[in-house]
Structure 1
Amino acid sequence: MIKNIIFDFGDIFINLDKVKFAEEIQKLGIPQYQDEVIQILHKYEMGLVSTDYFLSHFHETYHIDKEALVTAWNSILLDFPKKRFDFLKDLMLSNKYRLFLLSNTNDLHISWIKKNWGLELYNDFKNCFEQFYLSHEIHFRKPNADIYEFVLTKNQLKVHETFFIDDTKENTDAASKLGIHVWNLNPKNEDVTELFLKHNLN
């Protein structure tokens, strides 16, 4: 029986435009697939370097205007459909499951969300979860096994009682290897509100 549900954030609750994001970053001349770039992106996502360092690095290395980078960086973020928030609130109020959020999210993105949503909505969303884990705050990132182990250990969760939802197959594969039940949600034709239509959590 499932007692714990761990949710990703992007393309599970808030919609993302990953294609536009890649295009905007490319326009700035950032070689997205270069090892050195990937390393700095991962460090930023894990909160190992500050936003100031992150922006300064690309400004000094690639002569990119900092404001232009912030705009491009946040272009991935879209809307938060009300039906998903309603689903989450109903799930929280049912008291049937322990709910957790586990997201690879950086400081610039969460700052945009707080400003775009407003703090009242952001805090109402955050309060639906027993724990709200953002990669840049806990210094781990998916799909590394240590991030799942951190959540399991910190909250004394049993893997066979835990269900994880993420739109990235690499992330659900990593969780599955630890024995966690998973749903690799495809945002093109699936929605988190369909959870109980698609999966029997008993």
Structure 2
Amino acid sequence: MINTIIFDLGNVLINWEPKILYNKIFGSEEKANHFLENICTLAWNEEQDAGRSLEAGTKALIERYPHHKEEISAYYDRWEEMLNGPIEGTVDIFKKLKATGKYKFYALTNWSAELFPIALREFDFLNWFDGIVVSGDEGIRKPEAAFFQILFDRYQVKPEDAVFIDDNLRNVEAARKLGIESIRFTSAEELEKALQDLEVL
């Protein structure tokens, strides 16, 4: 019986989009896309999510692409400009679930330990969770099974009693392998339907 809901945060409850910043910097969506696909990539950012310091990550990339020093530095210097508010529909679903009094709520997020305090300051609904596990604090990230295990052990969560929600298919598939009922987030409307189908909402 499901008694636990585990949320990813970025692009499930919180809009995070590097292109918002780099469209401003380059004045061209094409140039912004090229930069984010080839230089400040998601894979590079995930190294910081897994515990590497922002300073070390930035330095390593500037050494490879010195002619892009200013644009690379902007990634974390102006990181808050990538945040585009809450995803209201998902926050509303979270509120409805919370109001039932039936579930425990946890967040399992790939997020730099240095940056996560900004999110805590900006988004009050993060206080609704019974616990949050941040990859940057743990030195490991999704989709690693050991990262999920940290949450299971810390909060006595049984995988078979939980639902996991994440926008990244890689992470959803990893969770399913661990026996967690998992939903790939595409929109609040689709999430609500999936939760209703599971008789969670």
| Shorter-chain TM band | 0.7 to 0.9
For residues 23-38 of structure 1, what are the structure 2 equivalents within 5 Å? 24=32, 26-27=34-35, 30-31=38-39, 38=43
Contact 1:92–1:129 under 8 Å retained in 2: no
Which residue in the other structure is 2:181 paired with?
181
Counterpart-to-counterpart distance in 1, 2:183 and 2:153: 21
Q: CA deviation at 1:128?
A: 0.6
Which residue in the other structure is 2:146 paired with?
146
Counterpart-to-counterpart distance in 2, 1:102 and 1:158: 15
Contact 1:7–1:101 under 8 Å retained in 2: yes
Amino acid at match of 1:27: F
Contact 2:11–2:87 under 8 Å retained in 1: no
TM-score (norm: length of structure 2) = 0.76
Q: CA deviation at 1:195?
A: 5.0
Which residue in the other structure is 2:55 paired with?
52
For residues 1-202 of structure 1, what are the structure 2 equivalents within 5 Å? 1-17=1-17, 24=32, 26-27=34-35, 30-31=38-39, 38=43, 40-47=44-51, 49-63=52-66, 64-65=69-70, 67-70=73-76, 76-107=82-113, 109-110=115-116, 113=119, 119=121, 121-122=122-123, 124-187=124-187, 190-201=189-200
- Report SS of the residue matched to 1:132: strand
| Cα offsets for 1:151-182 (capped at 9, x unmatched) | 11221111211111111111111111111111
Query: In the superposition, relative to structure 1, how do residues 105 and 131 fare at CA in structure 2: closer, same or farther (>3 Å)?
Result: same
Q: CA deviation at 1:16?
A: 3.8
- Paired-residue identity, %: 25
Amino acid at match of 1:57: A
Task: Report how many residues are paired.
Answer: 190
TM-score (norm: length of structure 1) = 0.76
| Cα offsets for 1:84-120 (capped at 9, x unmatched) | 3333234224321010001111246535545xxxx2x
Structure 2 residue runs of 5 or longer lacking an equivalent are 23-28
Counterpart-to-counterpart distance in 1, 2:179 and 2:101: 24
Amino acid at match of 2:196: L
Counterpart-to-counterpart distance in 2, 1:168 and 1:15: 14
